[in-house]
Amino acid sequence: MTENQKPNNQELLAMISLLDDEDETVYESLLSHFLEIGKPAIPLLEEKWSQSLDALLQTRIENIVHKIQFEAVKTELTNWKEHNQKNLLTGLIAIARYQYPDLDEDSINVFFSEVRRRVWDDLQPNDTPLEQVRILNQVLFVEFGFNGNTANFHSPQNSFINTVIESKRGNPILLSVIYAIVAQDLDIPVYGVNLPEHFVLCYQTLHKDKFAEYAFPEDNILFFINAFSRGSVFGKDEIDLYLRKLKLPSDKKFITPCSNTDIIRRILHNLNFSFNKSGLTEKSEEIEILLALLEK
């Protein structure tokens, strides 16, 4: 359906009036048309939902709106993967729109601008890496009050950037990516490390894009940072000990920066686990569809 072929409001209302038809084939045909129309159909669908007391009609409208919004998330995530992978925040916002389709992106950008400004105010040109991390820790974990969500570790809300910013509670990967986005925007070389069953950060002297050119890129990592533990700093020996406890061999991928796609994929895996644990199998299946988009 082209832009010129899309129905006007009167035609949309006529289509919506047919949604209470008990014939499933009629509903399936209408669903297909609404998916072609996409987001422009949502306001009229929601208006009709609020005016109706028909349970069947309301259920069908809810289903159509959700499917339209899910298709929009799929498109947004695909576009991010193909054209914008260097912008991690854009990928995080695409994931958040799965649960919060009306997400206020501007408020998220305002938050990051404010954090950057407060860190920048305290940075000095000759600060050492540890002094830079101390300032990041002070701003994020003391002034803004971010902390690990130990009480509800597996809650799906820990994987959405907007709810983590609002509640100041998150899982290791969301706290880490907030930390990394702020640091990188200030040219502080802090990047995510995709540990098994955990996620941490590393501070390195080498730009991430140059890692492939070096035989031993891990030699350029000064130390690691645990954002889930309020920015505590530790060394490679502790990662080796952690891996031994998990009975896993030492591997370069566990001590060097991962890609933004790896981060988004890991967040989706966490969401999949959270929804499964909560018995929300339909949502889990949709997250698997989003994961598949990143594998193509």
**The residue type at 18:** L
| Number of separate domains in the chain | 2
Closest CA to 72 of 106, 34, 116, 45: 34
167 and 34 part of one domain: no
26: domain CATH number is: 1.25.10
149 and 285 part of one domain: yes
Average pLDDT value for residue range 13-34: 87
227 and 162 part of one domain: yes
Contacts of 71 (CB under 8 A, 6+ apart): 35, 38
168 and 255 part of one domain: yes
What pairing do the DSSP bridges indicate for beta strands 169-170 and 147-148? parallel
* DSSP 3-state percent helix, strand, coil across the chain (nearest 5): 65, 5, 25
Is pLDDT at 296 greater than 90 in this prediction? no
What are the two backbone dihedrals, phi and then psi, of residue 259, each rounded to the nearest 5 degrees? Answer: -80, 165
3-state SS, residue 133: helix
94 and 241 part of one domain: yes
Cα–Cα distance between 63 and 60 in angstroms, integer? Answer: 5
155 and 254 part of one domain: yes
40 and 176 part of one domain: no
78 and 97 part of one domain: no
In 86-116, which positions are buried (b, 16+ CB within 10 angstroms) versus exposed (e)?
eebbbbbbbbbbbbebebeeeebeebbeebb
Q: Where among 64, 83, 102 does a domain terminate?
A: 83
31 and 15 part of one domain: yes
Residue-averaged pLDDT of the chain? 91
Average pLDDT value for residue range 68-73: 96
pLDDT of res. 219:
66
94-123 pLDDT, tens per residue? 999 999 999 999 999 999 999 999 999 999
Average pLDDT value for residue range 4-32: 82
pLDDT of res. 27:
87
Q: Where among 61, 83, 105 does a domain terminate?
A: 83
201 and 181 part of one domain: yes
46 and 99 part of one domain: no
Task: Tell me the sheet residues that pair with 232.
Answer: 226
How many residues in total does the chain contain? 296
137 and 179 part of one domain: yes
Q: Where among 26, 48, 83 does a domain terminate?
A: 83
Domain that holds residue 244: 88-295
Is pLDDT at 216 greater than 60 in this prediction? no
Contacts of 109 (CB under 8 A, 6+ apart): none
Is pLDDT at 212 greater than 80 in this prediction? no
Question: From the DSSP assignment, how many helices (H) and strands (E) are in the chain?
Answer: 12, 6
236-262 pLDDT, tens per residue? 999 999 999 999 988 888 888 999 999
Quick one: pLDDT band at residue 3, thresholds 50, 70, 90?
A: very low
Is the C-alpha dihedral spanning 230, 231, 232, 236 positive or negative? positive
